Structure formats: C-alpha cells, structure tokens
Structure 1
Amino acid sequence: MAKVKEPRQGRYPVTFGEVELLRDLDRPYGWVLTSGGVPQSYVDLADPTHLDFEYVQLMGTVIDVLPQGPLDVVHVGGGACTLPRYVAATRPGSRQIVIEPDEGLVQLVRDQLSLKSVPRLKVKITDGRRGVAEIEDGYADLVVLDAFSGATMPVELATAEYLADLARVLRPGGTLLINVADGRGLRFVRRLAATVRRAFRHVLLLAEPGVLRGRRFGNLILVGSARELPEDRLVRGAAGGLTQARCVYGEDLVNFVAGAAPIRDGEPVLAPVPPPEVFG
C-alpha cells in the first residue's frame, strides 16, 4: 500500500462557507467531509473502492454494470470526489471531468485528501449549467449529477432544459446517474423522475425501501439511458447490498411518477429540505 499524506482534522473556510474534515475512527484512512453539519463525502485514502454512504454504494452498483473498460465521465458536483476515485480505481484508463463551483473546496481536497493522486482527472471551477454547456456533444459514457447546496439539490440542475443538455454530452447509449434527496410524499423526486423520463427512453429508480415509501427523508438514485438498462442485474445488485434497496422501473415507475409534471426552467419549484432531526 502506498503511503498517503495525513490530512488534518478541523474546520476550513472555502469559497461558499465552511466545511469540516472528520476522521473515521473505525477506518485508519477514512475521512468525512461535512458542510453545515451535513455529511457531503466519505473517502478512504488507502482504498478508493470503499464506498461508505449507502446511496453512494447504489451509485457504485450502477457503475459496475456498465459495459466493461475505461469510461469517459462527467461529474456535476465534486465534494471530496468519492466517485471519481472509485471510477479511476475500478476502470483504469478512464478520463474524468469534475464540475465544481467552489474553488476553495477543490483546493482543500487537493491539499488534504490527495486529489492529485487520481489519474486523468480534470476539475473545472464553474457552476453546473455553464460547465456542462462547455462540453462537446457526445463526450461522455457516463454523467453523474450529484450536486447539493447543503442537503438541497439546486432546482436549476433538475429541469428539463438542463437534462436535455446532459443528454447532449452523452454518447449514444450513455448513462445518466442522479442523486436526489426527498422526504414525505416524494413530490420532488416524482417530478424529477418525470423530467428524466422525458429526456431518456429507459429510466429506473433505486432507493432504500423506507425512503421509497416516503417514511423518512433520504437519498434516491435515478438512472436514465437511451439504451436498455440491465434491470435484472440492478435489481440483484441493489437487493444484495447492505442497503437491500429496491429497483423500480417499467410500469412500477410509471405508477410511482403518477402523472407528475416535468420541472421546467423558471418554475417556482422548491427542493425539499431535510427535517432538523435527520442530521441531529
């Protein structure tokens, strides 16, 4: 195992506020990045294949069933770059672009969490709309949308117009992977699912059963593609993980959406905010 630089636990000012680095007492090289008391990223500096958060494990499950070999990936939202590290480790030779507006955060992750060690990774300091607009058509095999302000997804990254731009940068048969958070009633994720279904022929949803039933606030993963998705493998992969998540697609997804309207630019839509007890 290569020697890794020891980060320094503590609070750090970044461009948009302050974040905190916390050591994981159960793993010698595990670190948690939080913002406003909300866990944003977990990285194991000695093992980039270790995915600690349940929703990130589900995203890893999706990545694992994509066609074998290196991937060209665009990540909207950086944090500590957990998934870029995972892709670099599990798909050697992959080229990756991370779009992250917080320059101070990017510098912190470079300095404290060994970001420079991730091969073939380029970071663009800009917002998600502008960053994607600057990427050429058909660049990516995979686009990962995992952008949050605190615990809230920016609504401007959930609209039909923006998802059409994400679809533009995907190659034919490429895959879109979205992390979204929602709570009771799941109104926002139903509308976002309707938006993804408008942009992609094949769509499915992954989530832990309690979150999927709207019983508690949590993360859900939407997957979209122009090509048929490996539904059986994703059902098994989701159910076989620690989360024992469900995979919803086909008529079940139509019923889940229940006629919800896609989100459009300029609509007065509010992304859900977690209740105070979620993060203590």
Structure 2
Amino acid sequence: MVCPPSPPPPAAPSPSGRTVQLSVSGQQARIVPDEHDDGWVLEIGGMIQSHVDLAEPTRIRYEYLARMAALLDHSFPLGEPISVLHLGAGALTLPRYVQATRPGSDQVTVELERELPSLVITELPLPEGTELEVVIGDARVELAALSPRLFDAVVLDIYTGEGEVEHLTGTDFYAVLLGALTERGLLLVNVGDDNGHRFYARQAAGLDQAAAGAGLSGAWTLADANLIERREAGNLVLAAGPALAPAHTEQLNDLRADLLGAGPHPAAVLTPDQTARLASRISG
C-alpha cells in the first residue's frame, strides 16, 4: 500500500479518540492527548507506545529514538534525502523526523498489525510531502520480498525481548539486515531489555558476528549512561554498518565524541570493542 502525501496537519489537531482492535495481538489501540505536553501518544493495550508532536516533528520524547535520530544525522549529510526501511511502525515518529529533516526521503515501513498504520495516519497526518510506503506483514518475510532493494538506513524497532519474536533477532537475521544496506548504510536496532541486560548481551554478540561476516566493524551501543551503569530495564540502541566504519582510531574517537555530545544526556556511547567487552562481562 502506497500512502499518498498527507495534507499539512491542522493548526489545532483533534484526533477522534476512536479505538480500533488489532487483528494479530487482539489488543485495542487509540490515539490520545499526552498528559505532559501538546503532543499525542499511541496507546496499545492500555500502554503508551509512541509520542508524536505534530507541530514539531523533530521533537522526539523517547530517548532511544532520539539517539537513533542523532545517528542518522551523523551518518548522512544534513538535509540530504535518504532511503529508510522501518521494521515496526508505532506512531511513525521516526519517519516524521526523517521527512522534516530530509524532505524527499524515500521511506518504507513494515507493520504486522494491519489496522495500526491506517489509524495512525488518519488520526495523526504525516508531514506534507512524506513519501511512505506501508507494507503489512511479518518483518522478515516482507524484507525478503523487498530484495534486492537496498536502503541507506534500516531501523528495527519491534519488541523482540526474551521469549518474543526470536526470528527477528540473532546473527542470521542481523546478517540479512546488513545485506539490505547500501554501501554507505546504517543499521539501527532497538533492544528492550530487563534488569541485567542478558538479552542485550546476546543481541550485541549476534550483531558483532554478523558485522564481522560482512567485513564490517562490530556493534556500537547507545543508551542512557545510568541504564548502562546500573543494568536497569530499558531500551538500548545497537548500530552497525558502513556508515560506522571510520578509517582509523582518531576518526572513531571523533565519532564517539560527536554522538556523546548529541545526547540525550546523560549519554553512553560504546565503540564496537567496548560493546563486545560489555556483552562478554554480562554473559560471562
């Protein structure tokens, strides 16, 4: 399904508040006003999943998404359109950011719940001119169907925690994702984990192996510094790809410093070597 460009959002948006039942999970989804600002949130099964500011789509509340946005901004020339594959739709917060900062970008989102993108786009119109193709189906199946199409960035933002959709985790799947990148590409993976970060450690090791198999440097980690230090439940971002392959150590240190400075703060940015050591300590 190809979504036509959405009209500009109204000055005072007023989503209807209607509820839809998602056919796969059986849960109910709706768009409701945010309690803390003028934005809107996607609520699924009574839990808040995403936040959108229609008036300012570059404002991203959730820190892990803000770190992903910072990685995109540091990987590609500012303002330049890019091609992005989003595996997992949510409220389309990151596609909105990409359109606002890189007009004309070619974007695709894959979502398992057929009803969700329709609800989100109807209730929270996309920025004017957004080119977004919506594909309904399993992320791994649909990724194979998109081949041999390549993307500058691939974003995996599907809950894949312990005991969840294991076919969307691990070395083999990460190798497939890396294979969908252009020669300048960037892979971003949201890892939601419990206390202890043992699931994160396995995913970091898996991405490191996949990167090595593709002739790339290993996995970077971006997260809240306190979350890393205390190994508390939360979201960590793993990243890899040609875009994160500095030619020498000085460039690697400069990239790490840039990403640390971009925040959100307090920020932790681990190079591939640091990520591998942390994953080994956790797993050991």
TM over 0.5: same fold?
yes
- Equivalent runs, 1:223-238 vs 2, <5 Å: 223-227=239-243, 228=245, 231=252, 232-238=254-260
Q: Distance in 1 between matches of 2:128 and 2:161?
A: 27
CA contact (8 A) 1:235 1:246 kept: no
How far is the alpha carbon of 1:2 from its aligned partner?
5.6
Q: 1:175 to 1:67 in 2, by over 3 A?
A: same
Query: Alpha-carbon deviation of 1:165?
Result: 1.4
Q: Work out which of the residue numbers 234, 245, 257 in structure 1 matches 2:267.
A: 245
- Percent identical pairs in the alignment equals 32
Q: Label 1:91 to 1:244 Cα distance change in 2 as closer, same or farther (>3 A).
A: same
The one-letter code sitting in structure 2 at the alignment partner of 1:225 is: G
Distance 2:139 2:86 in 1: 9
Q: Pick from 6, 10, 29: which aligns with 1:3? A: 10
Distance 1:138 1:186 in 2: 34
Are the aligned partners of 2:31 and 2:120 in contact in 1 as well (CA < 8 Å)? no
How far apart, CA to CA, are the structure 1 residues paired with 2:278 and 2:48? 28
Counterpart-to-counterpart distance in 2, 1:100 and 1:160 = 22
Structure 2 match to 1:83: 94
**How far did 1:134 drift?**
1.0
C-alpha deviation, 1:245, in angstroms: 1.2
Kindly tell me the number of residue pairs found equivalent between the two proteins.
260
The letter of the residue matching 1:133 is A
Letter in 2 for 1:23: P
> Are 1:140 and 1:171, in contact at CA under 8 Å, matched by a contact in 2?
yes
Query: Which deviates more, 17-26 or 193-202?
Result: 17-26
Aligned residues: CA RMSD: 2.5
Letter in 2 for 1:3: P
What is the Cα deviation at residue 189 of structure 1?
A: 0.5
| TM-score, L = length of structure 1 | 0.84
Between the aligned partners of 1:49 and 1:152, the Cα distance in structure 2 is 34
Distance 1:18 1:150 in 2: 21
What is the letter of the counterpart of residue 93 of structure 1? Answer: G
Q: Which one is further off, 129-138 or 43-52?
A: 129-138
**Which amino acid counterpart does residue 75 of structure 1 have in structure 2?**
H
2:225 and 2:51 mapped to 1: Cα distance?
Answer: 23
TM-score for both structures, normalised by structure 2: 0.83
Aligned residues of 1:100 and 1:123 also touching (Cα < 8 A): yes
1:276 alignment partner in structure 2: none
Aligned equivalent of 1:61 = 70
Contact kept in structure 1, 2:22 and 2:113, CA below 8 Å: yes
Tell me what 1:270 maps to: none
Q: Name 2:190's counterpart in structure 1.
A: 179
Measured against aligned partners, the alpha-carbon deviations of 1:166-213 in whole angstroms (never above 9, x if no partner) come to: 112111231100111112221111110011111222221001122213
Partner of 1:273 in structure 2? Answer: none
Aligned residue runs from structure 1 range 144-163, under 5 A: 144-148=155-159, 154-163=165-174
4+ residue stretches of structure 1 with deviation over 6 A?
Answer: 149-152
Alignment pair present for 1:114 and 2:125: yes
1:153 to partner: Cα distance: 5.8
Would the aligned equivalents of 1:38 and 1:150 in 2 still touch at CA under 8 Å?
no
Unaligned runs of 5+ in 2: 1-7
- Aligned partner of 2:4 in structure 1 is none
Contact kept, 8 Å, 1:153 with 1:180, in 2: the verdict is no
1:12 aligns with 2:23: no
Structure 2 residue aligned with 1:219, among 235, 258, 264?
235
Using the alignment, how far apart are the partners of 2:122 and 2:41 within structure 1? 15
2:182 counterpart SS class? strand
Match of 1:129 in 2: 140
The correspondence for 1:44, drawn from 39, 53, 64, is 53
| 1:31 aligns to 2:31 (yes or no) | no
Deviation at 1:149, TM superposition (A): 7.0
Q: CA 1:118–1:212 in 2, change beyond 3 Å: closer, same or farther?
A: farther
Amino acid at match of 2:150: Y
Q: Which runs of 5+ in 1 are unaligned?
A: 262-280
Cα displacement (A) at 1:61: 0.8
